[in-house]
């Protein structure tokens, strides 16, 4: 084979030089080092652009508010279980992978919610702040779609994270921005007409859209902003390597499967019936 490669791909991610590195259009040493935060780097990785200070503060608020890391919660327990044999990184990887689900993570839900808000504002235009128009729009959406993502809070009456995010948005003067307003209006409609309560993903999507993020960027962002929760759980489990997590005691398991039985080949050999002794 010659030194010519058969295929060359184009990348916008990065280039590694001798005394310089480029990342998403930025010089690593010239533009980024000493000038940006971890949140900025994450935003650059996802969106390709630097956030304003105000926008970065919103993401930091969301990350702090989303720090619900109780290891009993399904997503977090995955990190503890997989790391329980000592591999913290494996635990984090497993938990991250499990974020690709339809019900309890922002990876898939946040973009759907964001697209709803974007479409609502695009379709209603000047009437986006009109309660009657938004109500009709919301009801029409529910007639088409059996599930409205971004609503529903397990085991408690309201999402305390959304309450906290709302306080942050007011404190930062962002509660009057268009997507946050639209989110609050739809939330009020859902609450009064359907007794549905919005969860953090609805508020998160609105806050991100008001930062100028695209709907498809919000899913990845929602995952990165909770990585610290997985990390804490995986590190703890890897350090403790608890036998209780590696294998639950037999008394903790209830078997609902098939009763004892004998296979056809074993029955042929021994002449026993299909019932195990």
Partner 1 sequence: MAADRTYSHGPIEQEKWPDRLGAHVVTAEAAPRIHGYSVADDLARHYGFVETALLALTGEIPTEAQARAANIALVMLAPAPVATAPVHAAVLARLCGATSSALLGVGCLGLAEQAQTLLEPGQELVRWLHQPQGAPPEKYRAVDADDAARAQRFVELVRGTGLQLAPLDASSGLDAALILVLYRCGLKRTEQIAALIIMARLPCLVAEALACKARNFAAYPMRLPDFEYAEQP
Cβ proximity to partner 1: between 96 and 120 the closer is 96
Please state the closest distance from residue 174 (CB atom) to partner 1, in A.
Answer: 29
Query: Rounded CA gap, 272 and 260, in Å?
Result: 13
Minimum distance between the CB of residue 112 and partner 1, rounded to whole angstroms? 18
Burial class (CB in 10 A: 0-12, 13-18, 19+), 229: buried
List residues binding partner 1 (CB under 8 A): 5-15, 22, 25, 70, 72-73, 85, 87, 89-90, 93, 97, 154-156, 248, 250-266, 269, 276
Least distance between partner 1 and beta carbon 90 (Å): 6
| Residue appearing with tokens 């890897």 | 238
3-state secondary structure 93-133: HHHHHCCCCCCCCHHHHHHHHHHHHHHHHHHHHHHHHCHHH
Q: Could you tell me which residues are beta bridge partners of residue 275? A: 261
User: Looking at beta carbons only, is 120 or 238 nearer to partner 1?
Assistant: 238
Catalogue the long-range contacts made by 210-218 (C-beta closer than 8 Å, 24 or more residues apart). 210/58, 210/174, 210/177, 210/178, 210/179, 210/180, 211/51, 211/55, 211/58, 211/59, 212/55, 213/47, 214/47, 215/111, 215/114, 215/115, 215/118, 216/111, 217/46, 217/47, 218/106, 218/110, 218/111, 218/114
In the complex with partner 1, which residue's Cβ is closer, 89 or 131?
Answer: 89
Report, in Å, the least distance between residue 117 CB and partner 1. Answer: 28
Nearer to partner 1, 201 or 205 (CB): 201
Cβ 143 to partner 1, closest distance in Å? 22
Nearer to partner 1, 170 or 261 (CB): 261
Cβ-based nearer residue to partner 1, 1 or 132: 1
Contact between 162 and 200 under an 8 Å Cβ cutoff? The reply is yes
Lookup: tokens for 139: 């009801």
Closer by beta carbon to partner 1, 94 or else 124: 94
In the complex, minimum distance from the CB of residue 179 to partner 1, in angstroms, rounded to a whole number:
26
Q: How far is the CB of 11 from partner 1 (least distance, A)?
A: 4
């Amino acid at each position: 084979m010659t030194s010519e490669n058969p295929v060359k791909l184009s990348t916008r991610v990065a280039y590694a030089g001798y005394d310089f590195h480029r990342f998403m259009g930025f010089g690593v040493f010239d533009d980024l080092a000493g000038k940006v935060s971890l949140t900025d780097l994450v935003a650059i990785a996802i969106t390709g652009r630097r956030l304003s200070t105000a926008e970065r503060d919103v993401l930091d608020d969301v990350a702090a508010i989303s720090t619900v890391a109780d290891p009993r919660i399904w997503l977090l327990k995955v990190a503890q279980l997989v790391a329980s044999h000592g591999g913290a990184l494996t635990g984090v990887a497993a938990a991250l992978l499990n974020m690709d689900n339809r019900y309890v993570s922002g990876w898939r839900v946040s973009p759907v919610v964001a697209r709803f808000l974007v479409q609502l504002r695009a379709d209603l235009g000047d009437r986006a702040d009109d309660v009657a128009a938004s109500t009709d729009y919301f009801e029409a959406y529910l007639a088409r779609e059996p599930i409205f993502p971004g609503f529903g809070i397990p085991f408690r009456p309201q999402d305390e994270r959304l309450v906290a995010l709302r306080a942050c948005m007011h404190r930062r003067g962002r509660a009057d921005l268009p997507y946050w307003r639209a989110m609050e209006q739809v939330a009020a409609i859902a609450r009064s007409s359907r007794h549905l309560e919005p969860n953090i993903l609805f508020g998160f999507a609105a806050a991100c859209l008001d930062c100028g993020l695209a709907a498809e960027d919000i899913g990845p962002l929602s995952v990165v902003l909770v990585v610290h929760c997985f990390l804490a759980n995986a590190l703890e489990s890897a350090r403790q390597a608890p036998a209780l997590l590696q294998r639950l005691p037999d008394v903790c398991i209830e078997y609902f499967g098939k009763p004892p039985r004998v296979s056809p080949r074993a029955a042929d050999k021994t002449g026993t019936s299909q019932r195990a002794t």
